[in-house]
Amino acid sequence: MERLTKKRVFEILNSRFKEGFLKLSSLPQPNTIKDLQKGARRVAKAIRSKEKIVVVGDYDVDGIISSSIMKEFFLYINYPIEIIIPNRFKDGYGISKKLLSNIDTDVVITVDNG
């Protein structure tokens, strides 16, 4: 069995990610994201009004991590939210009318849903 050294792990990852790893500088600037301010204002209003907020994430690793980040943020500001990770076989892929009809909430925040 091959011993995995730091160098060997780096070689394996480099072979799988030929374009290289993403850098923070390659992420879009927040001010270029369409309707970001509008969404932020809506969430702020929901918090001020004590509305129920549900975060719906995708079932893949990006969706789980994104949902976790949102949960950590709302825990930090001491605001209760619910996290829903839909079952793609039962609920379908992404946000669907069926899924939304089963959620009792005032605001839905989606993360990593296409």
Q: What's the total number of domains in the chain?
A: 1
Is 107 part of any domain? yes
Q: How confident is the model at residue 94 (pLDDT cuts 50, 70, 90)?
A: confident
Query: Which residue, 33, 36, 37, 55, is CA-closest to 110?
Result: 55
- Edge-to-edge strands, sheet with 107-111: 82-84, 53-57, 107-111
Is 23 part of any domain? no
Q: For residue 8, is pLDDT > 90?
A: no
Residue pair 39/55 in contact (Cβ under 8 Å)? The answer is no
Q: For residue 106, is pLDDT > 90?
A: yes
Q: For residue 102, what are its two tokens?
A: 């089963």
Residue pair 86/63 in contact (Cβ under 8 Å)? The answer is no
Is 21 part of any domain? no
Is 73 part of any domain? yes
Q: Say what the pLDDT of residue 25 is.
A: 81
Whole-model pTM: value is 0.76
Q: Say what the pLDDT of residue 7 is.
A: 87
Q: How confident is the model at residue 105 (pLDDT cuts 50, 70, 90)?
A: very high
Distances in Å between the alpha carbon of 94 and those of 13, 65, 88, 108, 110?
Answer: 29, 16, 8, 13, 9
Q: In which domain, by residue range, is 67 found?
A: 28-111
pLDDT in tens, 51-86: 999 999 998 899 999 999 999 999 999 999 999 998
Is 89 part of any domain? yes
